[in-house]
Amino acid sequence: MDSAEYERRIAARFATFDQDRNGYIARDDFGTATKALLAEFGTTPRSDKGQALYIGAEALWQGMAGIADVDGDQRVSRDEFITGAVKRLRDNPERFAEIARPFLRAAIAVADEDGQGPTAEAAERALRALGVAPEAAAMGAAALLDGNGRVAREDRVLEVFAEYFTTPAPDA
Ligand code: CA
Ligand code: CA
């Protein structure tokens, strides 16, 4: 894969974060994603799970802004995202997992409806609520499952997300 292809794929990831499609990733995009996920699972923002998700989303936004918001205008342009993501995440793939962990941990808890870990169906609903395209959501959910058909391992979820954002996904 050449670097142009790599950057094209990273740019496609940008669209997932830019929830309102205004060309910038900003704090309110994370708020939109958080609200959508909570609504999908009937979780109130004031509940423990809701609060944890908001805190995780803020940490993810701060982490992303720290990596990519080079001009400090509190929003990440497409160019900043591509440059920041390509440069920083390629050099340090663990970094994404680190900044995403609180959000993903909270999202797993929201999608876990019976305390046994999210089902494949719940994982797919969660990914779609977060703005992942339907086919990618189905594939993503399948990749997250353990042998029991549940999303049980946080480290596995982090691995899949880090992979998604730093290396090419299978063609969908
Ligand atoms: Ca936006
Ligand atoms: Ca910026």
Q: What's the CA-to-centroid distance between 7 and ligand 1, angstroms?
A: 19
Number of domains observed in the structure of the chain? 1
Residue 49 sits in a domain whose CATH number is 1.10.238.10
Q: How far is CA 48 from CA 51, 54, 111, 126, in A?
A: 5, 10, 13, 18
Distance 5 CA to ligand 2 centre (A): 23
Please check whether residue 24 lies inside any domain of the structure. Answer: yes
Residue 56 lies inside a defined structural domain of this protein: yes
| Smallest-distance ligand from the CA of 80 | 2
Please report the pLDDT score of residue 163 as a whole number. 76
Q: Which domain holds residue 155?
A: 3-166
Q: Is residue 101 part of a domain?
A: yes
pLDDT score for 169: 46
| Contact (Cβ atoms closer than 8 angstroms) between residue 154 and residue 104 | yes
Considering the domain boundaries, does residue 171 fall inside one? no
Segment 89-147, tens digit of pLDDT: 767 777 877 889 999 999 999 999 999 999 999 999 999 999 888 888 998 899 999 88
Does 91 map to a domain?
Answer: yes
Higher-confidence residue of 70 and 165: namely 70
**Ligand 1 center from residue 132 Cα (angstroms):** 15
Mean pLDDT for the stretch of residues 7-11: 73
CA of 152 to the centre of ligand 1 (A): 31
In this predicted model, which residue has the larger pLDDT, 47 or 167?
A: 47
**pTM: predicted TM-score of the whole model, two decimal places:** 0.87
Residue 33, pLDDT score? 95
Burial code (b: 16+ CB inside 10 Å, e: under 16) for 46-85 equals eeebbebbbebbbbbbebbbebbbeeeeebbbeebbbbbb
Query: Considering the domain boundaries, does residue 172 fall inside one?
Result: no
